[in-house]
A and B are shown apart, each in its own frame.
Chain A
Amino acid sequence: MKRYVIVGNGVAAAGCIEGIRSVDPSGGITVISEENRAVYCRPLISYYLEGKTDLDRMDYRSGDFYERSGVRVLYGRTATHIRPDSREIELDDGTTVPYTGLCLAAGSSPFIPPFEGLDTVKNRYSFMTLDDAAALERELRQKKRVLIVGAGLIGLKCAEGLAERAASVAVCDLADRVLSSILDAECAAVMQKHLERHGIRFYLNDSAVRFEENAAYMKSGAVIPFDVLVLAVGVRANTSLFKEIGGEVNRGILVDAGMRTSVADIYAAGDCAEGTDISSGQKRVLAIMPNAYMQGHTAGVNMAGGREVFDKAIPMNSIGFFGLHAMTAGSYEGELYEEKTETSLKRLFTKDDLLKGFILIGCDERAGIYTSMIREKTPLSSVDFDRMKKAASTAAFSAAERRKKFGGVV
């Protein structure tokens, strides 16, 4: 009988479980879960702080998920070593778990730069897990001044989430703009202005030289007083287990389109894996939830002897702050098409007869049609792109293509 082991218990693991069970109803599945809780929706931790959801509604799957799927979960356990020759995983309690197929879905960890004086800051948090969010919630029962280091997706969602709870929120970043991983300068400026209107203060193109318990001394000379510090500088893929057995690792664990790693019977999925971004053709860690699920599912199917390929991965984010949504996908290369209004900004990037990427701020209608064109590599010459670029619509496809999309089962 097959024995599947999954390291990690996030969305990639859930995808892996469902992938395995779509092929193999009976093989044993063991999940090694560092966190003492069932799989939950990590990106909702900022919504939790904001009061838009609660613990009951943050479960990713129903309460009987593991039981129904025949999964044994080892809570509070950490995998310490892989023994690829004997096909075993060693745990922190000294026990070992044998596997016929292993999926590394270990996620990522917050990266903490070696700031001088950081040790003196007592009220210091990361913003990755539900425990982090719950700790911040406790800390903010009284209104306090918060400084967030990092103006990326995590830092800014955190800022939005605690804006109502905090006395003030300041955000600093080494980058010269907010959301620098997904927005260009002009689009970032639009989002920044909107965030500022909601009381968030920014110190960009600046970094902390030194911390004291309640103050950050910035390179620019600014001194930012705070009661609570949140470090959201970035994350690093958890690759060490795999690295130490000599597996191929770049920023993440390198995988092919079937989520196979360089070591036999070992797969990887989610934020710890590095697959191909088909919009740029480059290997890239795509730490986004849809990707985690789809990679996990593909790994699961293939571990169980089925055949699944996930060769449509692209970066894509839908992120809103105080009611203004920014949607981004793909790579910003090639020719630019732009449309601006008082309340919206649209940028489409085309190259070699393909839509390569887009940024949409405040104009998200039917955006998925653009996303699908990037994922499916739809030739621009096969659609009425002059029409499509003004407004995403299936009306810009040929009648035959529309019949396919709307006339049958898809």
Chain B
Amino acid sequence: MVVLMVGAVVVALIPLFFILLNLILKGAGSLSLDFFTKTPAPAGETGGGVIHALVGTLLIVGVASLIGLPIGIGAGVYCAEYPASRLTWVTRFVADVMNGTPSIVVGVFAWAWIVAQQKHFSALAGSIALALLMIPMVLRTTEEMIKLVPNSLREAALALGYPRWRTSLSVVMRTTLPGIMTGALLAVARIAGETAPLLFTALGSQYLSVNLNQPMAALPLTVFTYATGPYEEWHRYAWAAALVLIMVVFVLSLGARLAIRRRYSLNA
């Protein structure tokens, strides 16, 4: 049986190996300075880059984080600080349900709420959809991180006469801040690769734009458009853009994971 299980481990890791290998083989060749600094060439022509998508992803994800992180962290602190409250149970359960909601459904929601009302596509609607996806993730990591703080620390602060809010902010949160930041980074990494919620909110664009009220390009949307398009040249760009995307995601999530692990080993 152990042999079978080792076999399962090997089979499970084969796709990872091949996906990374193919990304590097097919994507790395198209990376150049132009790729990072130019907007796309007209369809069918060679040259150009994906600066519009890089800027778009940065803006859309940035705004999503500005909306999603405070709400997620705040609600996470609530769940950890008032575990006996009935609202905690409800919020935690709803967050877990929302976590399983398909991202495309959240996209339809943002479309119905914003795009359908305004009658035009907008990057802001995409940001809101992404924020909604990150809130439950951030909430749960924040809660789990705060739960790791020993109660004696909290009691010590209270015994010294700190009010609860100062205990929470300057003792509990302060201790666990790296953990919360790690959770936030992981959530950012997750939404940075999301495509489905942006399909009919940010829509995508071939031009460099910084107007949140207009359609905007994003790296995952660019990968999708180029991969399903008819031109060989586009396919090369799809691989290169995917390589960049995965590097962004991996750097964010690897950094976050390593930070967490170092913390754990320090504590142990």
Q: Do A and B bind each other?
A: no
Interface residues, chain B, with chain A CB atoms under 8 Å away:
none
Q: What residues of chain A have their CB less than 8 Å away from a CB belonging to chain B?
A: none
